[in-house]
Amino acid sequence: MTEAEPLTTGWEPDVAVDDTVLRQFVHAYADRVVATATVAGGDVIRTDRAVVADARSTFFFDNAVVLLRPPGPDTVDDLAAAAAVFGDRPWVLLSAWPTPDFREIGLTLVGHPPLMMRMPGGRAPAHPTHLMIREVRDERTLADFTRTLVAGYPMPAGVDTVAFHPDLLGTTVDLLVGYVDGEPVACGGAAVAPGLLEIDWIATLPAHRGKGYGAALTWAAATVRPGLPAVLLASDDGRPVYERLGFVPLLRCTMWMKESPE
């Protein structure tokens, strides 16, 4: 008998990115934060184990560590390297797997957001006809998007902008703004990756919630490339909305945060 060929775990560096949907998502998220940091003039460290992307932003989701394989003994070393890159800026750690307790090294557990997926096709649900959704293609609509995201998303105190650069528009990122009577009220977007869309930045201004605007922006973002499946990290509060749009839960990820000393 010959020795059996070793079985892959699915997370070795030479495994194809499209080996599984989860692997596609992990690499799509990593590529997106790298692109954001690069155009912002920040620093990027990429190894076989993790990506560290510093967009030099005051908003913690702009600065990220993404694990590219299940955490192991070397993960703490990766996080120490990340801490040196980010300095006093806040940042998040995204793991597609359960992790050790990182409170011992100064991180705060954000939670275990559900990863959800929607296949292409289906009929668009009824959305408010008075909501006009426009793609972000210029500085004015980008300013509307940024202002809406900051006002509609639970930002830390003192954060008044996010790290979006015009060079990202129409390439790896499609951003959308919803308008009512000419005023921006909601936003959303999709990062385009090989084989799927990663949906993010869904936010509605507090005074306009409960009117279906967030669902409309989510649907628009999930169909900017009609032939691609869409994935997103949901909150437990938002999960029912996404389920009504055809998203199904796959698993729960793990997210930690390093808060700013301020």
Domain range annotation of the chain: 17-113+253-258, 118-251
| Residues 135-190 pLDDT 10s | 999 889 999 999 999 889 876 666 666 667 777 777 788 999 999 999 999 999 99
Q: What pLDDT is stored for residue 2 in this prediction?
A: 58
| Residues 100-124 pLDDT 10s | 999 999 999 999 999 999 999 988 8
Please choose, from the candidates 125, 80, 124, 127, the residue with its C-alpha nearest in 3D space to the C-alpha of residue 106.
80
Q: What pLDDT is stored for residue 96 in this prediction?
A: 98
The distance from CA 237 to its chain's CA centroid, rounded to whole angstroms, is 17
Q: What pLDDT is stored for residue 260 in this prediction?
A: 80
Assess if CATH 1.20.272.10 describes domain 118-251.
no
Q: Please tell me what DSSP assigns to residue 74.
A: T
Which tokens in the block code for residue 215?
């669902």
Phi then psi dihedrals of residue 244, to 5 deg: -70, -20
- Per-residue pLDDT band for 58 (boundaries 50, 70, 90) equals confident
CA–CA gap between residue 54 and residue 60 (Å, rounded): 10
Please choose, from the candidates 197, 208, 153, 156, the residue with its C-alpha nearest in 3D space to the C-alpha of residue 175.
197
Contact 58, 43 (CB under 8 A): no
Q: What pLDDT is stored for residue 169 in this prediction?
A: 78
pLDDT over 70 percentage in the chain: 95
**E strand segments, 42-195:** 43-46, 50-54, 64-67, 91-95, 108-111, 114-118, 132-135, 173-180, 183-193
Q: Across the chain, what does the average pLDDT equal?
A: 92
